[in-house]
Amino acid sequence: MLDIKWIKDNTEEFNAQMQKRGAKVDSNELLELADEKRQITTLMQQFQQAKNNKSKRLGAIKSSSPKEFNDLKADVEHINEKLSELNEQLKNDNRLKNILDNIPNVPDSDIPYGTDETMNKLIRTHNKPTKIDNAKEHFALGVDLGMMDFEKTAKICGSRFVSLKGPLARLERALISFMIDSHIESGYEEVSMPSLVRPEAMYNVGQLPKFKFDSYATTDEKYRLIPTGEVPITNLVAGEILKQEDLPIRHVGYTECFRSEAGSAGKDTRGMIRNHQFGKVELVAVTSPDESEAEHQKMLATSENILKKLDIPYRVMLLCSGDMGFSAQKTYDIEVWLPGQDCYREIASISNCGNFQARRMKARYKEHGAKETTLLHTLNGSGLAVGRTIVAILENYQNEDGSINIPDALQPYMGGMEVIAK
């Protein structure tokens, strides 16, 4: 959530940044609503002060001046009525909050302008794309091995689900352990979090109300299945006031994630690229504004390190203003090379959200000796999406006979197995 005071003081910049992001926001209406709220709040404070003064006077004259006492008592009752009316007006008029809740974060100064992924900026590449004659896509390889099933799974769950068995199921488990171990070595603390959260937790990180239809809710709407591990892990600091000496906080955790894929009809309907349920190892960092950019670079390097250890070609892209997520002020995408598709595909997004989420969740820290508190900065990133990493391994390590070589870094997690074959 953006600071309404900042919007008022920087209206021209705000309008330019929203235009850069492709967001339609009427700043005039926004500021008028904010002014109305401020006037009501000021009036309530004045009424409350008058009530306090009259109440004190009531106690002093209760027995000495019955007429003045009755007049003052009537005034206090009238003030109470006005306060109740104004309070209900504030409570029921959610127009300002609804607008603020749907305004995306302001892009960082070095974010390139763009409307979609074709306008993202290449930062670097790692290793040349793998060249394989007649390369197969991952789903063909997995089905031919007899270890990846879409048809039977669809009978149980519907489309966009997959089941793995044998060495491919073990590969999934191996990747989770390998990734978490690697991130712990990089200074992240492991956490194990639920996949079911309250709506407030989704709101805190910007998933609600903007993306209500992208997630699944229980029938009573009291809980939601998480679309990313960022939701429960980031909320560990919700409502907290931390000490500066305790920063940064770095967490890594594996979660099952669930997405309705609303609006993605026809995209990646085959295979494991875009499923309703998938596993992800998530990185979350909480830090001070001064250390925010350095923490972003560390998180990016930590995620890249997984692909370096697996020896899989990838590239890093800086997302343009029109392709960034709602809560992000700066995002890098890591795109892995897939020989079967003959292109790069996203495998991780590493985002710095600045204080956007912290303002929603009231997460602050206090410098040593300071009286005031400061909003924290929150960052999150995939470290990595497990299903997409399986896709990358299958396509980059495939052999002509359909077998799959296991990357050296994973062999200890696979009981020494070197090849997955029929």
CB atoms within 10 A of CB 328: 26
Start-to-end CA span in the chain (Å): 52
Mean pLDDT (whole number) for 306-330: 98
Radius of gyration of the chain (CA): 27
The span from the CA of 259 to the CA of 257, in Å, is: 7
> What is the tens place of the pLDDT at every residue in 133-157?
999 999 999 999 999 999 999 999 9
> What is the tens place of the pLDDT at every residue in 17-49?
999 999 999 999 999 999 999 999 899 999 999
Alpha carbon 186 to chain centroid, angstroms: 21
The span from the CA of 356 to the CA of 240, in Å, is: 15
CA 246, 251, 257, 263 torsion-angle sign: positive
> What is the tens place of the pLDDT at every residue in 49-62?
988 888 887 767 76
65 or 8: which carries more pLDDT confidence? Answer: 8
276 or 265: which carries more pLDDT confidence? Answer: 276
Contact 395, 273 (CB under 8 A): no
Please tell me the pTM assigned to this model.
0.92
CA 157, 162, 167, 172 torsion-angle sign: negative
The span from the CA of 218 to the CA of 195, in Å, is: 12
Average pLDDT score, the chain = 94
User: What is the Cβ-side half-sphere exposure of residue 51, based on CA atoms within 13 angstroms?
Assistant: 15
User: What's the pLDDT score for residue 264?
Assistant: 67
For each of the domains in the chain, give its residue range(s) and CATH number, in order of start: 4-101 (1.10.287.40), 117-420 (3.30.930.10)
The DSSP call for residue 115 is S
What is 349-384 written as a DSSP string? EEEE-TTHHHHHHT-EEE-TT-SS-EE-EEEEEEEE
Residues 6+ apart with CB under 8 A from 363: 237, 238, 239, 240, 242, 286, 357, 375, 376, 378
Angle at 267 between CA 263 and CA 271, to 5 degrees: 130
User: What's the pLDDT score for residue 64?
Assistant: 65
Two tokens, residue 4:
């309404």
Q: Is residue 86 within a helix (H) or strand (E), and if so which, with residue range?
A: helix 66-92
The span from the CA of 141 to the CA of 134, in Å, is: 12
Within 122-264, residue ranges assigned H as helices are: 138-145, 151-157, 166-185, 199-204, 230-234
Two tokens, residue 49:
């002060």
